[in-house]
Chains A and B, each alone.
Chain A
Amino acid sequence: MSETSKIEIRALRKSFGSNEVLKNISLDVAKGGVVALIGPSGSGKSTLLRCINLLVVPDGGSVRVGGTSFQFADGSKLPDVKTLAKFRATTGMVFQHFNLFPHMTTLQNVMEGPVTVRRMAKADAEKLARTQLAKVGLAEKADQYPATLSGGQKQRVAIARALAMEPDVMLFDEATSALDPELVGEVLNVIQQLASEGMTMVIVTHEIAFAREVADRLIFMRDGIVVEEGPARQVIDNPREAATRAFLSHFHRTGALPPANATP
């Protein structure tokens, strides 16, 4: 698997103070693969996701995305800011609370990465940004400020903003957890569309039904370790571990997607 894998995490460790959040985590994501990370809050799944683009710098282990890899050990020198920035430019991330830039219009939000980081000409960046906004069904919102958008629209803009960097990998950190229930579907639809286009993705989610539908692999984490891992449907329909069963019992295990009311 390791020759074809896009993301390779080995023996990852991370502590915040005396709290060990990740204990020896390994993870592979195949090119075009979709991995869902589930688990109770505090299980370390968001920290693991943030270690993939080094928003959180691990204490130990290694992280490889595409052809770039980093080793971490006690006392080892951290990568410098330029190296980190260059590395992060190849991964897209979508946050629970959108984190759109409120002082910029929707279009400017999506153009910001290409213009500032990729040094693209404004006209080219605008064209790219309009394409990405159209893709998430928000072409007509280009000149509005984020404050005027609904939560679902904000999150779709955030996805367009990440896609405008033309990343190899997309990371979703509970992208639908802050949304009103009726707005979840439109965001999940966009993610599902990306999956069908072959985007490599790691998705931290509480939408078990969605994970079952979209992810090919599922990882259940608890207390900083991987408790169970396998094909998404198999883990959700027939969990082997008691802890996985206990966690999944909190959800309705229908295979259906939540109702979609996207407005492209």
Chain B
Amino acid sequence: MYQWDFGILWSYRWLFLNGLGVTVGFTVVIVVLGLVFGLFGAFGSLSRFKAVRLTALTFIEAFRCTPILVQLIWFYYALPILAGVEMTPITASALALSLYGGSFYSEIIRGGIISIDKGQSEAGAALGMTPGQSMRRIVLPQAIKRMIPALMNQSIIQFKNTSLVSVLAVPDLVYQSQVAAHDSYRPLETYTAVAVAYAAILIPLTILARRGEKRLAVSE
């Protein structure tokens, strides 16, 4: 029978906290940047101009249909060779994760927008609104409500995807716990604690999100 000893992890607490800080910071950056890419992707794929639509679709499918681990390695190792673009591991992984997340955000945002009945934008147009006005005042406020659960879901995935940056030696929570596990010869305790740490951050967030959803639903 395995003898659990979580007490040993206490001596690595600063390492874990450090890693956790990097993980949370990374998540904030890639969620925000990802949403920016997502907005461009979504509006690009809904553009009146074919060239813009094609560019947006190429971006979305390139990042949606290839594995994130491959993208991370590709951004760090291939770009310097092919394009002469040198990046630090942190920049490379922030960019890859943001673009990867952005491709999924694009589809969520686009789906939310096109799910709104065409009659809504027609009613806006009939009042004399420009397409921009009816998007801002009529379509988006309704579409965002529908997007929120899916955006939340994707952001949870983004948070957990940060664990992959350890392959580029970015010192996130998973990377630091590898260090701790090698040092302590206690991988079971280490990775169990890491799993608990991820869940301990995400579960309260999902509860908050659910409450927010309910409050939004009431206003209809």
Listed in ascending order, the chain A residues whose CB lies under 8 Å from chain B are 53, 55, 81-82, 84-93, 95, 97, 99-103, 112-113, 116-118, 145, 147, 158, 161-162, 165
Contacts and interface: CB of A to CB of B under 8 A. Distances in A.
A90 B219 CA distance: 31
B127 A101 contact: no
B126 A55 contact: yes
Interface string B134-171: 00011001100100000000000000000000000000
B199 to A, nearest CB: 34
B119 A95 contact: yes
B142 A85 contact: no
Contacts of A100: 123
Contacts of A88: 125-128
A158 B220 CA distance: 17
Contacts of A165: 127-128
22 contacts: A53-B126, A55-B126, A82-B130, A84-B125, A85-B125, A85-B128, A85-B129, A85-B133, A88-B127, A89-B128, A90-B128, A99-B122, A100-B123, A101-B123, A101-B138, A103-B141, A103-B145, A103-B220, A113-B127, A117-B129, A161-B127, A165-B128
A102 to B, nearest CB: 6
Q: Which secondary structure characterizes the binding site on chain B?
A: helix
B120 interface: yes
Interface string B167-184: 000000000000000000
B130 A145 contact: no
A145 B138 CA distance: 15
Contacts of A99: 117, 119-120, 122-123
Contacts of A118: 128
A1 B199 CA distance: 76
Contacts of A89: 127-128
B207 to A, nearest CB: 25
Q: How large is the interface on B (under 10, 10 to 19, 20 to 34, 35 or more residues)?
A: 20 to 34
A117 B119 contact: no
Given A103-B141, A103-B219, A147-B220, A55 B133 contact: no
A116 B133 CA distance: 8
Contacts of B220: 102-103, 145, 147
A104 B127 CA distance: 15
A113 B125 CA distance: 10
B111 interface: no
Contact of B137 (A84, A92, A116): A116
B131 interface: yes
Given A101-B120, A147-B220, A86 B131 contact: no
Interface in B82-130: 117, 119-120, 122-123, 125-130
A85 B130 contact: yes
B179 to A, nearest CB: 50
Contacts of A112: 127, 137-138
A151 to B, nearest CB: 15
Contact of B128 (A86, A95, A145): A86
Interface in B19-76: none
A89 B220 CA distance: 27
Nearest to B133: A116
Contacts of A86: 128
A185 B133 CA distance: 34
A102 B139 CA distance: 10
B37 to A, nearest CB: 26
A89 B133 CA distance: 13
A80 to B, nearest CB: 10
B51 to A, nearest CB: 19
A102 B127 contact: no
B133 A117 contact: yes
A161 B124 CA distance: 11
B133 A93 contact: no
A81 B131 contact: yes
Q: Which of A85, A95, A145 has the most CB of B within 10 A?
A: A85
